[in-house]
Structure 1
Amino acid sequence: MNHHSWDAYSKSYLNIQKNPASFQLSLMNMLRFEEAEDILDAGCAGGQLHQYILQQRKKNCKLTGCDYSIEMVKLATARMLKFLNNPLQGGISEISPQDVENVDLNSPLLEQNNYKIFQGDVQSLPQLNNNQFDIYISNMVLHLVENKDQAIQEAFRILKPGGKIGIVIPVVSGNLMMHTLTKCFIESGLIKEMPFKPTDFENREGMINFISKHGFKDIVCWNQTIPFDLFDIDDNYIFPQFREILDKAPKEQVDQFYALFKQEVQNRLALNLPFTVESMSLIAKKPS
């Protein structure tokens, strides 16, 4: 997907992202991020991890974020400036479009708090030095990257010897919500098949082999399943791959899609069950 898709997604991304928060918290706990001196969140989107890290980090720990989308960078910066000015603020609902549009990406307050964020592509990060970070976070990013080998080579380069990488990716076969959305899109005639290629990694063996071939050691990899709080549908829960299709479709087909999806939600509720989403997470070390 291009910059524009993710820029548009920035307005609703956090509504979806709040659900997989337990994936991220498990990863952060396993990384022991509170012991680190220098952390990179590569592909940080709206910065949903950043308040948590800043509240728990070691004194003088530096946190850097980067994202492919400038709108995501602006959103994250607006949130963090609000939070740094008043630690009781910074929730996504408190950020207005004006806050995002007028945000000062070079505010001295960011540097004063050892926080930096910039627009960048995880496949090539010339802005960052060799052996710079203790921790490299890749949260729901790797499956979207075109050249995954290049992205992991960059992660290896900028990690210190002994530094840790932490990765979370969705498992397509375990993503009931995405399967249900796709089924309703197909049944309403909007698409013939999945509108985007799922991740190449669908099992632990593949993921472990991929990371170890790039020189990482001490690998731990696990699957995790969580509930998703979707019991009704609105535009906030439509992923950008699907949003583009709906925007171009005739109203009749769009209405049919929504009717089918609402029925799926009712069927799930009748079973007293939520939709579920599965991830695969991994941590590993760059050899000392």
Structure 2
Amino acid sequence: MLFAGQGSQHKGMGAEVFARYPGLVAFASDLLGYDLAALCTENPDGLLSRTEYTQPAIFVVNALHGFEHTHREDRRADCYLGHSLGEYNALLAAGVFDFETGLRLVAKRGELMAAASDGGMAAVLGSSEEHVLKVLADHGVDGVDIAGLNTPSQLVIAATPPVLAAALDCLEEAGIRATRLRVSAPFHSRYMEPARVRFAEFLTGFTFAEPATPVVSNVTARPHRAPETARLLAEQLVAPVRWTDCVRSLLDPDDPLEFTEIGGTALTRMVHTITSGG
């Protein structure tokens, strides 16, 4: 089972499940200090696009859809995998922490990431990590981090504003397609180190169980283990999302991969690209 992350939010999200889980929705609203259902279905003042609101909203909606799917299908997945923020839903589904703990973690994570600034990100299409880094090096552009490896031909870069602008200019000159992402900071890069330090301190107040079902870490592309969970969740803020490696770790030539995505369709498209060798 795959869980989508930030970017999957949209006005109206969760409307179909909120009424079936009124207790959890009310609990989440009380914990967060605002009406979560109204935020998701009405998006007042465009708040749903702000990271500190986006992340708790996605976490709750993903969780409810995950509960719904498990109850409807009457079976659990063999493995859980989430993209960035979605990894928290994967850990929740695997019993590493409960709903309240997950929501507290995500609310703090969103707060710290929203406080970060002075940078941006861009999606780079049709080129490998090695080629992109070589082009940047050849043009003398320094300070760009690979923030995500979504497919063999789709990656994400992050940097400060002037460095990102220079990187986009030289990629365009080299004939490489790149598009700025609508984010407020260079997530999953060295520039999130202050947030990582603060989040690591926050995580010391929590205890994490061993996953009842394997959860593949975005940082290592290997299954989570309880002693490492806190460190990996903090590290995730500064490390690239190794989505391609995560998916490849689940592939077996003798057993075709079957999966369900919770929260969108973007991950499904990525998985099809990875499994087809594209």
**TM-score, shorter chain, exceeding 0.5:** no
TM-score, length-scaled by structure 2: 0.26
Higher Rg: 1
TM-score, length-scaled by structure 1: 0.25
Higher relative strand content? 1
